[in-house]
Amino acid sequence: MVNGYMRKNARRGIISVLLVVSVVLMATSVSAVSAANSTISGVKPGQRAQWSVMASSGVTSTWYSETFMPRGNFSVPVGSTINLTLTSVIGGKFRGNISIGNLVLANVSMSEISFNLLLGWYPFQLGLVCPVNWDVQTQNATSNGFTVEESRSGFEDVITFSHMNGTLGTMLVYDKATGLLTKGYGSFGQFLIEVVLIRCTPEEMTVAIVVAMIAVVTMLAGGWYVSIRERRSARLS
């Protein structure tokens, strides 16, 4: 009876330790994600994202630099994709390599992307990814004639900026945690585009998943160890 009581207490102690370790690991992961998302940058250089073109006028347009120099022609037919690899985040300014149709550009600013794709309305041009300081963004948006709405889409908290006059204008929906554009619409003159985020590789999410898997494996290994100890004790008693 005494041996059985001691074994039970030992098992409880091991399981308690494993649970504490798992909770600590998960808490560390969550705090790391929260810390990253509380900064101005929700995503980091090297991360990639991809948008699908859901609607388009299909016209061929000229891509202009920030100094209004032509950099090539591009078109965005329905079903095509826009690919972005973030290259730098300096002072809240995001730059990345973009491929759109047959046009590939390196180290492009978000304001340049916004201007050419009508995903923004001067001077409020956030582009495909923006800083997650939403109070500042909201103030800038409203002072430039945009309406702002916060809502929830699935498991994500999103914020929508819109500056529309019928079908003309722009509407931008951003994931509040990452700053990535989840849906975007722009239309003016003969140009129209609508995009939806279909793939991204957020570093924070990868870390969280890995840590969670480690916690689960730790708990399973602990259960296996306790089971072996009990069988050995049973044979000896």
* Each residue's pLDDT tens digit, 96-132: 999 998 899 999 999 999 999 999 988 999 999 999 9
Model's pTM, two decimal places?
0.69
- The answer to whether 94 touches 180, Cβ cutoff 8 Å, is no
Strand positions, DSSP E, 5-92: 48-56, 61-64, 70-74, 81-90
High-pLDDT (> 90) share of the chain, %: 59
Per-residue pLDDT band at 205 (split at 50, 70, 90): very low
- The answer to whether 176 touches 149, Cβ cutoff 8 Å, is no
Residue 137 has pLDDT above 80, yes or no: yes
Higher pLDDT pick, 231 / 60: 60
In angstroms, the CA 79 to CA 87 distance is 26
Q: Is 89 helix (H, G, I), strand (E, B) or coil?
A: strand
In angstroms, the CA 14 to CA 58 distance is 64
Higher pLDDT pick, 200 / 133: 133
Per CATH, the number for 44-201 is 2.50.20
Domain range summary for the chain, segments of one domain joined by +: 2-36+205-236, 44-201
Long-range contacts at 194-199 (CB < 8 A, ≥ 24 apart): 194/53, 194/54, 194/55, 194/56, 195/51, 195/52, 195/53, 195/54, 195/82, 195/117, 195/119, 196/51, 196/52, 196/54, 197/49, 197/50, 197/51, 198/50, 198/51, 198/52, 198/81, 199/48, 199/49, 199/50
28-42, 81-95, 196-210 — which one is most confidently predicted on average? 81-95
Residue 20 has pLDDT above 50, yes or no: no
* Each residue's pLDDT tens digit, 150-163: 998 778 899 999 99
* Each residue's pLDDT tens digit, 38-88: 347 688 899 999 999 999 999 999 999 999 999 999 999 999 999 999 999
Higher pLDDT pick, 215 / 24: 215
Long-range contacts at 154-159 (CB < 8 A, ≥ 24 apart): 156/182, 158/182, 159/134
- The answer to whether 80 touches 101, Cβ cutoff 8 Å, is yes
The whole-chain average pLDDT of the chain stands at 80
Per-residue pLDDT band at 22 (split at 50, 70, 90): very low
Per-residue pLDDT band at 23 (split at 50, 70, 90): very low
Please name the residue that has the structure tokens 């948008």: 51
Per-residue pLDDT, averaged over 4-28, amounts to 44
Please tell me the predicted confidence (pLDDT) of residue 199. Answer: 83
Q: How many CA atoms are closer than 13 Å to the CA of 66, on its beta-carbon side? A: 11
Q: Which two tokens stand for residue 54?
A: 């859901």
